[in-house]
A and B are shown apart, each in its own frame.
Chain A
Amino acid sequence: MRIVGLILVVILGSVLFYGSLAFPPWGDPASPASSHLSPYYIEKAMEDTSVPNLVTAVLADYRGYDTMFETIVIFAAGIACIVLLRTFKETESGSRLYRHIPTGITLKIDKKGRFPEDSVVFERIDSHWVPHDLIVKTTCRLIVPFIQIFALYVIAHGHHSPGGGFQGGVILGAAMIIYAIAFNLRSAIRRMSERSAVMLSSLGVFIYAGTGALCMLFGLNYLDYSALAGLLGVDPVTARSHGILIVEIGVGIAVMAVIVTLYYNLASAGRHDEGL
């Protein structure tokens, strides 16, 4: 079976390489893409949308449909992860570990015992891997705000520099993940519950699709942001630039919420109880 698989892989790989020979060489100015499509974007993007970063202009304006459905794919991935993994079953043993903060003594409390739920001297710890992590926690508490500000900068500055909704959203989600890793999953869920994560991911998709629908409402095509000129009080070119920012914010919210949802479900095997 291994031999058959190897032969298949070699054959398919060589077919792939053979097919890639027909592609124009990298950076060829005479290739169809460079001679028909790209010159229009390079020459017109600035006067059409007033966005200096061509990639952002193409991604969120000229190819707005693609980006919208990419966002919907990410949203669907988050929902699929919840459907596959989320369980509402109790953990097998039912016992929990609590650490007495002043002395550092760890107590194991059985299922039948009384859990010190809202006590200030006991903190609940995971049963798998719980070192004392003062340095990690403090460092995380210090750097998380800066990560989040950088993420907002990436989203807002996507017009002028590399970046945009996807990258900024991923960095925002990563800030939440680093918080969950340094503290524990339960404190992360207290900050951002599963319900609000799901709501935010659908809100992001709604912002994107709603902006497109608003353009239709003002009498132009779906996702033609120049229709928003009257609403925003600017000329149509600037309106396209602002429209890109609005949908990038939507993408950022959706991606951030989906990343957080994926992490919650993967790290706790769908129980949202104890995790990495």
Chain B
Amino acid sequence: MIWQIEITILIIVIILAVGALGVKDLLGAAILFGAYSFMMCLLWAIMGAVDVAFTEASVGAGVSTVMFVAAVFRTSRRTED
């Protein structure tokens, strides 16, 4: 385990998390959240939990981002009812 890489990834994870919470645009938040998941996946891989990293990459960074984008696509500023 190389601590410089780990610290760098941890800092990026925190920046992405704060960014995903803070950004006004929902689509941007979804993309930032996907990037966050991908960084978490790298962290799992560094720790040697390859199966968890694989799951994080496919579910967190892949499908859940698509789900968020699909949900954002169906949201409007005003309610339709």
Interface residues of A (CB under 8 A from B): 26, 53, 55-56, 59, 92, 128, 154, 162-164, 166-167, 170-171, 173-174, 177, 181, 259, 262-263, 266-269, 275-276
Whether the Cβ atoms of A166 and B69 lie closer than 8 Å is: no
Whether the Cβ atoms of B70 and A167 lie closer than 8 Å is: no
**Cβ contact of A171, chosen from B47, B58, B71, cutoff 8 A:** B58
- Main SS of chain A's interface residues? helix
Interface string of B21-62 (1 = CB under 8 A from A): 000000000000000000000000001001101110011001
Whether the Cβ atoms of B63 and A266 lie closer than 8 Å is: no
Can you list 27 A-B pairs, Cβ within 8 angstroms, ordered by A? A53-B51, A55-B51, A56-B51, A92-B80, A128-B73, A162-B51, A162-B53, A163-B51, A166-B55, A167-B51, A167-B54, A167-B58, A170-B58, A170-B63, A171-B58, A174-B63, A174-B66, A177-B63, A177-B66, A263-B67, A263-B70, A266-B67, A266-B71, A266-B74, A267-B70, A275-B70, A276-B73
Total A-B Cβ pairs within 8 A: 53
Most buried by A among B50, B58, B62, B71: B58
Whether the Cβ atoms of B59 and A170 lie closer than 8 Å is: yes
Interface residues of B (CB under 8 A from A): 47, 50-51, 53-55, 58-59, 62-63, 66-67, 69-71, 73-74, 80
> Which chain A positions have C-beta within 8 A of B71?
266
Inter-chain pairs besides A167-B51, A174-B63, A269-B74, 6 sampled, C-beta below 8 Å: A55-B51, A170-B55, A174-B66, A181-B66, A268-B74, A276-B70
> Which chain B positions have C-beta within 8 A of A167?
51, 54-55, 58
> Which chain A positions have C-beta within 8 A of B47?
26
Closest to A270 in B: B74
> Which chain A positions have C-beta within 8 A of B59?
166, 170
* B15 CB to nearest A CB, Å: 18
Whether the Cβ atoms of B70 and A162 lie closer than 8 Å is: no
Q: Give the CA-CA distance A181 to B47 in the complex, in Å.
A: 34
> Which chain A positions have C-beta within 8 A of B62?
170, 174
* B68 CB to nearest A CB, Å: 9
Whether the Cβ atoms of A162 and B67 lie closer than 8 Å is: no
Q: Give the CA-CA distance A170 to B58 in the complex, in Å.
A: 7
Closest to B62 in A: A174
Whether the Cβ atoms of A276 and B69 lie closer than 8 Å is: yes
> Which chain A positions have C-beta within 8 A of B51?
53, 55-56, 59, 162-164, 167
Whether the Cβ atoms of A162 and B50 lie closer than 8 Å is: yes
Q: Give the CA-CA distance A183 to B74 in the complex, in Å.
A: 18
> Which chain A positions have C-beta within 8 A of B54?
154, 162-163, 167
Nearest 7 pairs between A and B by C-beta?
A267-B70, A162-B50, A170-B58, A266-B70, A55-B51, A269-B74, A162-B54
Closest to A58 in B: B51
Q: Give the CA-CA distance A163 to B50 in the complex, in Å.
A: 9
> Which chain B positions have C-beta within 8 A of A266?
67, 70-71, 74
Whether the Cβ atoms of A259 and B63 lie closer than 8 Å is: yes
> Which chain A positions have C-beta within 8 A of B66?
174, 177, 181, 263
Known: A167-B58, A267-B74. A262 touches B67 (CB 8 A): yes
Closest to B45 in A: A162
> Which chain B positions have C-beta within 8 A of A173?
63
**Cβ contact of B58, chosen from A26, A53, A128, A174, cutoff 8 A:** A174
